[in-house]
Structure 1
Amino acid sequence: MKTKDKLKLGLDIGKINHIISRNVDVAVMNAIDDNLTVAQAYTIDFIILEGKNKDIFQKDLEKGLDLKRSSISLMLNNMEKSNLIQRVPVSQDARLKKIELTDKSHKLYEKISKAIDVVENRLSKDINEDELKIFYNVLNKIRNNLD
């Protein structure tokens, strides 16, 4: 494949990412009355979905949201100040703190979830299951190429 095509692929992915982010931003901001960022909304969504059967730690957020440690740390600090999360020490290692959502976050989750679902449904409109599987396969290959 030509270098020119590879650069266009990256540019196109960046453009789509920007469009999706703008749509999610608008949907989440319209759905909630609080001073919540989209990253915080996705964090709440992630903790609820991934934390059903296990404790969630900062490293889980770093990996699951594909963000750097410093970015997650800053976001968690802001979320803690806004009473959206609390960090709870675990008995086996006092240095390790699990991330728990507050009642405030749980109340916001339903609105956040609905807003995100509306955008996600628009994204996948007219795309069948086989096409989505191929798309995710290609996305994973691209992600692995960059790791």
Structure 2
Amino acid sequence: MSAAPSPVSLSDAVGAITEILTWVGLGAAIVFGGAALVARLADGTWLPIRAVVIGDPASEGAGGQVVRWFGDDGVHEAPLTAELRAAVQGDELELFHRVGTRDDVRLHERSPWPRLLGGVALACAGVGVLALAVQIVTMVAGG
């Protein structure tokens, strides 16, 4: 004769689900938080600059324009992309230049990736902590 399986109680099911959500949430928070830190460190330091838009004689046939600015180690130059062209005011624009490079420029000082990864890490940590709180309440209520 086979014995009938015993039914699973609601508190056991909630306990199992919250246990899984706690570990997955906190583990994912650590992974995404570490990725945010690595992305922030890899992004480097960006300084504000004022660049001037000029035509490049070498690529005048292609309609090429460049942005040039003065740095601590001389004149720097970068191609004028469509994104940069949209931000031009007159013949100048405010940019950010990456320290240690000759031609890395962008419109914003900070990359959006560390902020996005940090937000995901906080959301995962919130799920993990909430699941832990539910698990503790369930254990206390169950006796």
Shared fold (TM-score greater than 0.5)? no
Question: TM (normalized to structure 2)?
Answer: 0.26
Q: Larger % of helix: which? A: 1
Task: Compare CA radii of gyration and give the structure with the larger one.
Answer: 2
Question: TM (normalized to structure 1)?
Answer: 0.25
